[in-house]
Chain A
């Protein structure tokens, strides 16, 4: 039965607003990574509680915020500790996902080598 299923064209293809350097990326991988934020921040960042949502985040701001948390000398709050669990590239993918959802992926953060 599975053989009948045609490989989808959507996987890994472009969606509007994707910045050039991540064109070849599999966006479902970013979606899976970012979905781990939803337990605290709501489905696709739509928070129903007191914790802030992520629906208005830009790629640049979210990336920079997360990188800041990862470099705290004394990680204190729960989000510092969550951020510390991810690699630079994973943080970038997560930020890119939410930036694309909010329509604010246009301005890319500056990446340090």
Chain B
């Protein structure tokens, strides 16, 4: 996002200067926290570890890329409201302002007993605490070729490819989009994308000739039901055909063919959003048990698997059941950082005062048309009985509006800045 540079610098300076009750960790040598993955969860963790410890903790942030491309707002690349370039978040302020050691590499093995993590180029790295924040991995339909039928669910080259495919939609074109079974990254995201594709068709004047088939593996809309039902049935009633309980078995990309248990669907443009899971090295380490996501204690985001002392998993990779959103990834990072600092300072994390006040939040703005958006708001609090995060309040916008569309950019610029700057 284009940031107002002056205000941004002010924000950085001020936030460091007014640290309230800084928790200085005193030790013979500074403790070392390694953060794997510099997306919304990892970048927030690295920044807040330095800020809240008053820089008494050494932080290494590992990511294979020089910058992170935000998925948030990336559906707006499809209808050309913004460019992918505007969504690039670099790690400059994390390293130069907060003093995070940023390493360009890829983690591929966790040694829980030895408290070390292996990087592809750099070899083993020792840690006192390890924060894993590597987002999602796709479970690929066996024959899929993403060059022809992109997912565009991790922002990058595929996002641009899908944008140019959609640009070529003409009279009588069929666009197919598939939605995986929950949980997946960004619950309202696929429905938001369906609306924007329908809007592209509408603005090309192809309403009534081109169409969009939305194949949902779930049996109903997974978020903002009221909003999306209204959009699919009314606003885009002549364009969108929404079909539930359709699970993709394979994709023959060269033919635009989506093979499902019940029928084959053939489209001119096919966007497959596949089933998702945590990254391979997380699963290989045994951190997911038999499952797809890493189970953690939501008071600390520490792994519940034994033998991984000091290993925390935050963001989309973990299994708490909270929505997999960037807002939420940022929220979890702060709970995790607070827990790590307390633990390094020898202060218990299960102190009743803290336990009663562990909360997270999520907010998602969903563009519905070229210049209108709706939103979803959710707050979670720790429930002592279940030991899980429980929803305390859920709200969704009454209607989509241009006001919400404008507010979406205000929200995003603070979310981006709070996470990466």
Enumerate chain A interface residues (CB-CB to B < 8 A). Answer: 1-2, 4-8, 10-13, 15, 25-33, 35-36, 38-44, 46-51, 55, 75-76, 78, 80-82, 84-87, 89-90, 93, 97, 100-101
Chain A CB within 10 A, most for which of B12, B347, B418: B418
Enumerate chain B interface residues (CB-CB to A < 8 A). Answer: 3-4, 7-8, 10-12, 14-15, 18, 20-28, 31, 48, 51-52, 128, 327, 330-331, 334-335, 338, 341-347, 351, 353-354, 356-361, 363, 375, 377-381, 392-395, 397-398, 406-407, 409-415, 417-418
Chain B residues with Cβ below 8 Å from A101 are 18, 20
Instruction: Please state if A31 and B21 are interface contacts (CB–CB under 8 Å).
Output: yes
Instruction: Please state if A78 and B377 are interface contacts (CB–CB under 8 Å).
Output: yes
Q: A36-B361, A39-B414, A86-B359 are contacts. A28–B128 as well, Cβ < 8 Å?
A: no
Chain B residues with Cβ below 8 Å from A31 are 20-21, 52, 338
Shortest distance from the beta carbon of B45 to any chain A beta carbon, whole Å:
12
Instruction: Please state if A86 and B379 are interface contacts (CB–CB under 8 Å).
Output: yes
Q: How far is the CA of A30 from the CA of B359 in the complex (A)?
A: 11
Q: A5-B345, A100-B20, A101-B20 are contacts. A50–B418 as well, Cβ < 8 Å?
A: no
**Residue from B11, B22, B26, B363 in contact with A82 in the complex, judged by beta carbons closer than 8 Å:** B363
Chain A residues with Cβ below 8 Å from B52 are 28, 31
Q: A8-B26, A11-B347, A85-B378 are contacts. A40–B20 as well, Cβ < 8 Å?
A: no
Chain B residues with Cβ below 8 Å from A90 are 357, 359
Q: A8-B26, A81-B377 are contacts. A42–B20 as well, Cβ < 8 Å?
A: no
Shortest distance from the beta carbon of B268 to any chain A beta carbon, whole Å:
38
Chain B residues with Cβ below 8 Å from A43 are 11-12, 15, 51, 417-418
The 17 listed contacts between A and B (C-beta, < 8 Å) are A5-B345, A11-B345, A15-B20, A32-B338, A36-B359, A39-B415, A43-B11, A44-B14, A44-B15, A48-B417, A51-B411, A78-B377, A80-B395, A82-B377, A85-B361, A86-B392, A90-B357
Instruction: Please state if B24 and A8 are interface contacts (CB–CB under 8 Å).
Output: yes
**Residue from B8, B345, B363 in contact with A40 in the complex, judged by beta carbons closer than 8 Å:** B363
Instruction: Please state if A35 and B361 are interface contacts (CB–CB under 8 Å).
Output: no
Chain B residues with Cβ below 8 Å from A36 are 331, 334, 359-361
Q: A31-B52, A49-B413, A51-B414 are contacts. A81–B395 as well, Cβ < 8 Å?
A: yes
Q: Which partner residue on chain B sits nearest A36 by CB separation?
A: B361
